[in-house]
Amino acid sequence: MMRKTEYALLALLVLAVLAAGSTMVSFARSQAASATNSEIYKQLDLFGEVLERVRADYVESPEDAKLIESAINGMLTALDPHSAYLNPKHFRDMQVQTRGEFGGLGIEVTMENGVVKVVAPIEDTPAARAGLLSGDLVTHLDKEQIHGLTLQQAVEKMRGPVNSPITLTVVRKGVEDPFEVKVVRDIIHINPVKYNVEGDDVGYVRLTTFNEQTTENLQKAVADLKKKLGPKLKGYIVDLRNNPGGLLDQAISVSDSFLDQGAIVLTRGRNLEETQRSNARQGDITGGEKIVVLINGGSASASEIVAGALQDHHRATVIGTRSFGKGSVQTIIPLGSNGALRLTTARYYTPSGRSIQAKGIDPEIVVEEELPEDIKKKEKVQGTRGESNLRGHLKGEVGEDKEEEQSGSSSYVPEDKEKDTQLQYALDILRGIKSVDTEVKKQKAEAKQKAEADQKAEAKAEAN
């Protein structure tokens, strides 16, 4: 009986100590949170004071909305280059881009000498039906000069409600005087997948972006190529060069289209419970045919997810040059009528656990394009652009060596396919003219020789 009483007293004492400890921890957390909140309120007071000073004393009366929007953007861009505030207009533009359809004319354009130049009218669109041709120069929109507008501003003016008309003033080579073309806007679908047959034995598929239509159009393209080539088919080239990325779910479903099983991508947020893993489902749309993926310094984000997944599963041979190195995920957080927040919420990893943030995907076989002299001079002065070159980019994780960061590579792709070294190399691999194993061994031997030569040169320089 006495021993039972002692146990009871001991248990009460332990519970009391635990309760006290819990209270102390809770109190400490409360104090820490209170201190943090107090500091935030001080900073907000400072912001309010600066805002009032600017509103009261700036040389010209500023726009309040512009001041607040700039302050929000300043806060977000201080985090990393990919976080930003999207005002209502920019949010709508982003939604148009990811949906892949909008009210417009249906022309690919660029800016040349202050006017809009038609690169090409898109087939079966109002522009094509109105007779616009590649090379046409558009000088006026509804009789208003384009000169002085940016390309983006001119494009916005050409877009508009379906069935609304717009008059273009066109200058055409071989036609003496400018003439007017009336075009009625219609729904334009941006096809992110372009494809064709190379020779009579290889299917070529180019993905230009990852919008809501990418996977569906990819599957249609592969089915059509399979039908056209039949038993002659030797494989597919998936061209991701200069593809800046887009929707994460589309990168996952595109990768899944070529895989039967296994992880596609891992995403990890600030907390461990935010880790997510996407897996492939049974069903390879190519039926197991050989695949070569082309990448370069312009392949970023979603493109790198696809290239990394197919590379890690040895499903494709990756050829080209190092990709851009954007290994972070942005979440769009709508803010009601005030637009949206684009916030970096996670890093992503390839199936083998590689983070490519500020490093990029290295191809198995490095193939450089022959650069024209003007681009060669430009890259020599400015260098190549990659994630690691962006000011304020997200650094490698704790424990990673910052020196492992790699700059990007060239994003040049020749217009003439015959001069496209990377494409021709991919064709040789699929046709069996070149062997992947042989080429990989050859490049490793060359890299080893170069490293040894560099070491000898360094040793000689130190000796002198």
Same domain, 263 and 182: no
pLDDT digits (tens, 9 = 90+) for 394-444: 986 645 544 478 878 999 999 899 999 999 999 999 999 999 999 999 998
Tell me how many domains the chain contains. Answer: 2
pLDDT of residue 436: 94
| Amino acid letter for position 148 | G
Assess if residue 22 is contained within a domain. Answer: no
Burial of 305 (0-12, 13-18, 19+ CB in 10 A): buried
Rounded to a whole number of angstroms, the CA Rg of the chain reads 29
326 noted as active-site residue: yes
In the chain, % of residues over pLDDT 90: 67
Q: Which residues pair with 262 in a beta bridge?
A: none
Burial classification of residue 296, based on how many CB atoms lie within 10 Å of its CB (0-12 exposed, 13-18 middle, 19 or more buried):
buried
Domain final position from 189, 204, 232 = 189
Question: Has residue 54 been placed in a domain?
Answer: no
Does the residue 62 lie in any domain?
Answer: no
In a domain, 285, yes or no: yes
E strand or H helix at 382: helix 373-382
174 and 215 fall within a common domain: no
Note the pLDDT tens digit of each residue in 291-308.
Answer: 999 999 999 999 999 999
Distances (CA, A) of 54 to 42, 71, 76, 283: 19, 12, 21, 61
**Largest Cα span, the chain:** 116
What are the tokens at 427?
Answer: 């064709």
CATH code, domain with 174: 2.30.42.10
Q: Is the pLDDT of residue 214 over 90?
A: yes
Q: Do 210 and 182 share a structural domain?
A: no
Provide mean pLDDT across the span 310-321.
98
**Span 257-268, pLDDT tens digits:** 999 999 999 999
- In a domain, residue 353? The reply is yes
Asked if residue 378 belongs to a domain, the reply is: yes
Domain identity same for 178 and 211: no
Tell whether 173 is covered by a domain: yes
- Alpha-carbon distance of 344 to 334, in angstroms, equals 14
Strand partners, 157: none
Catalytic residue check, 301: yes
Active-site choice (80, 239, 256, 312): 312
Q: Are residues 283 and 166 in the same domain?
A: no
Which position among 253, 255, 299, 301 bears the catalytic label? 301
Q: Which residue has the tokens 């990029």?
A: 360
Per-residue pLDDT band at 69 (split at 50, 70, 90): very high
Evaluate the CA torsion angle 315, 320, 326, 332 in order and state its sign.
negative
Statement to judge: residues 263 and 404 lie in one domain: yes
- CATH of residue 222: 3.90.226.10
Catalytic residue among 299, 326, 328, 388: 326
**Residue 172 sits in the same domain as residue 226:** no
> Residues 239, 302: one domain?
yes
The answer on 239 and 162 residing in a single domain is: no
45 is catalytic: no
- The reply to whether 184 and 219 lie within a common domain is no
Residues 240 and 220 in one domain: yes
| Domain that residue 409 falls in | 193-449
463 vs 149: CA distance, rounded Å: 60
Q: What is the pLDDT of residues 366-395, one digit of tens each?
A: 999 999 998 888 888 777 888 988 889 998
Mean pLDDT calculated for residue range 21-35: 49
Shared-domain flag, residues 444 and 341:
yes
Q: Is residue 304 part of a domain?
A: yes
Mean pLDDT of 310-338: 96
